[in-house]
Amino acid sequence: MSVRTDTPRWIASILSWPGLLPLSRIALVSAFLIGGVQKLADFPAAIAEQAHFGLEPAWLWAAAAVLIELGGSMLVIFGRFVWLGAGGLGVLTAVAMLAANDFWTKSGHDRFMVLNAFFEHLGLIAGLVLVSVLSLRKQGASMQ
């Protein structure tokens, strides 16, 4: 019996390509990888960034950001403890989203820009949730 789908065959072929999921995982965490490397390369600037957003002690927040951005990204990319890596990145993103995108204090064009960034971060968190769901489903399929 064949399964009916609304996805065109050529799209299904692209989505079935074995390399798509690993490349998508890398793309999903790419901003975290770049951010973690930049923070590590210029740790004083990373501390200043955390202090700018009122996160104290700034050195601890900067160290946690580097660890979570690099470590969490590696877990997501390599598909090991994805829930932990994506969860850490999601929490870090939520903290950043609330600290840096305070649209409720803005007006006019500034409010528009910050509100947009807020929801972009929310979308990124949703992507991290989805990669965790996919990982769990893959594990469930291999455990049966």
Residue that the structure tokens 């870090």 belong to = 92
Angle at 84 between CA 61 and CA 44, to 5 degrees: 20
Q: Distance between CA atoms of 134 and 115, rounded to whole angstroms?
A: 29
> Tens digit of pLDDT for each residue in 36-89?
999 999 999 999 999 999 999 999 999 999 999 999 999 999 999 999 999 999
How does residue 4 score in pLDDT terms, banded at 50, 70 and 90? confident
- The DSSP symbol for 144 reads -
Q: Distance between CA atoms of 19 and 23, rounded to whole angstroms?
A: 6
pTM of the model: 0.89
Burial 103-122 (b: 16+ CB within 10 A, else e): beeeeeeeeeebeeebeebe
CA 68 vs CA 50, 84, 91: distances in Å? 14, 10, 10
Token digits for 106? 């803005």
How does residue 138 score in pLDDT terms, banded at 50, 70 and 90? confident
Contact, 46 vs 35, CB < 8 A? Answer: no
pLDDT given for residue 142 in this prediction? 65
pLDDT given for residue 143 in this prediction? 60
Q: Distance between CA atoms of 48 and 25, rounded to whole angstroms?
A: 30
